Amino acid sequence: MNVDDVRRLKGVRKITVLTAYDYQIAKIIDAAGIDMILVGDSLGMVVLGYEDTKQVTMEDMIRHIQAVARGVRSAIVVGDLPIHSYDTVEDALANAGRLMEAGAHAVKLEGNRPDIVKALIERGIPVQGHLGLLPQTAQSMKVKGKRRSEAERIIADAKKLDSLGVFSIVLECIPMDLARRITEAVETPTIGIGAGVHCDGQVLVMNDMIGMDDGYSPRHANVYLDLNDLIGKAVKSYIEDVKAERFPADRHSFH
């Protein structure tokens, strides 16, 4: 898989994307055949325990992209540029370069930033756009693009990013009909999260998909496993075994 393969998949089949933040999960989902792995700045919430993505640093991203890249053989690895790492063209070029050196094949950035996107693509760095709900700057996590003016702005932004040559655009939390209009209006594939079925592909936060959070699941997520419950039960069994001296048994011991 490379970014041109992703482009070619538009209209052929749906593109599959999951987030990952560490070596072992990256290895598992790559071997299972995922097309693209996003080392998202959602890392701030699901791995680092922050309220939002605003505290994620370049150092955080580099460390986790390196870990993911070590586990990946075939998927494309996309690294999120964290907040304030692309405030200027110079910062964007330097920081995107650092993410690529860490093992990303492409970078993602939020919003319509034509000057930055153009400079990165001219430098040979593939860019994934991100429109709709933009967690780095959003005041609330509500669906975007319900109002006509907002919807028209998102469509215009998508067309602009498309004309600049982004290899895909993430559409987060927008009405499905708006996502359909954008998907039809642009040549580049759209990757939806909370954007309905008409997008060219789907992305989910891995931890949401495997049910890591205690009872919480965003409306847009499909939960395939209740890992929170499974891990809790496994830990309780371990605690009981240690207290009852059933673990370690003879087979775990050295003579």
CA atoms within 13 A on the CB side of 250: 0
Q: How far is the CB of 44 from ligand KIV (least distance, A)?
A: 8
The answer to whether the CB of 105 falls within 8 A of the CB of 111 is no
Q: Which is nearer to ligand KIV, 110 or 162 (CB)?
A: 110
119 or 173: CB nearest ligand KIV: 173
Category of 88 on φ-ψ map: left (φ > 0), alpha (ψ -120 to 50) or beta: beta
> Is residue 208 a contact partner of residue 223, using CB atoms and an 8 Å limit?
yes
Instruction: State the catalytic residue, choosing from 172, 184, 187, 240.
Output: 172
**Nearest distance from residue 247's CB to ligand KIV, in Å?**
37
- In the residue annotation, 172 being an active-site residue is answered as yes
Q: Is 136 in the site for ligand KIV (CB under 6 A)?
A: no
| Nearest by Cα to 202 from 228, 222, 224 | 222
Q: Are 211 and 227 in contact (CB under 8 A)?
A: yes
Q: Which lies closer to ligand KIV via its Cβ, residue 37 or residue 186?
A: 37
Which strand (E) or helix (H) includes residue 80?
Answer: strand 76-80
Instruction: Please say whether the beta carbons of 181 and 155 come within 8 A.
Output: yes
Bond before 82 cis per omega within 30 degrees: no
x/- mask, ligand KIV, residues 21-60, rule CB under 6 A, reads: -----------------x-xxx------------------
Q: How far is the CB of 235 from ligand KIV (least distance, A)?
A: 27
Q: What binding mask, one character per residue, do residues 142-181 give for ligand KIV by CB under 6 A, x or -?
A: ----------------------------x-x---------
Q: Name which of 14 and 245 has its Cβ closer to ligand KIV.
A: 14
- What tokens appear for 210 in the block? 């495997």
Is 95 a residue that touches ligand KIV (CB under 6 A)? no
Buried (b) or exposed (e) across 2-32, using 16+ Cβ within 10 A? Answer: ebeebbebbeeebbbbbbbbbbebbbebbee
Task: State the nearest-atom distance from the C-beta of 18 to ligand KIV, in Å.
Answer: 9
Residue 203 as a binder of ligand KIV (CB under 6 A): the answer is yes
Residues that bind ligand KIV (CB under 6 A): 19, 38, 40-42, 80, 170, 172, 193, 203, 205
Active centre residues (catalytic): 172
